Amino acid sequence: MSEAVSGSVSSYQLSDEGILQIISPAVSTHQAAACWVVVTNNGRFAYTTNAASGSISGFQVDHNGNIQLLDADGRTGVTGDGSAPIDMALSGNSRFLYALGSGNGTISAFRVDLGDGSLKPIPGASGLPAGVNGLAAR
């Protein structure tokens, strides 16, 4: 779960009875306004957009659900100043990550390294209408 005010992400375990138990409480992104969270299909990596920082923070997820930042500064991917990334989606095979920049009408695109969780920028899209919201990928 992202926590926008504190700029952090936490992880939880859901019991068979539907009870949430915290695993990793408030792991800081060192960025501002953590927003949307996605998890790769293999469950090894999670990413959150940082709406006020123009960045994406990546986390390694261990087999118990503990999370830790991939990059000490919290910037695994950069979407740019003024981009205000609010939504994000992974492709069906988790090899591509897309972030919607509501501040500048762009979609930033990245190739996901499923070995180490790093993000490599690839061409995205621009010219989206003002106020655009929501993103889905397959």
Note the pTM of the prediction, 2 decimals.
0.93
Going from N- to C-terminal start, the domains of the chain cover 2-125
Longest dimension (CA), the chain: 46
Backbone angles phi, psi at 127, to 5 degrees: 80, 20
Domain 2-125: give its CATH architecture.
Answer: 7 Propeller (2.130)
- Residues 48-79 have pLDDT tens digits of 999 999 999 999 999 999 999 999 999 999 99
Question: pLDDT (tens digit, 9 = 90+) per residue, 7-55?
Answer: 899 999 999 999 999 999 999 999 998 989 999 999 999 999 999 999 9
Strand partners, 47: 38, 58
Q: How far apart are the first and last CA of the chain?
A: 22
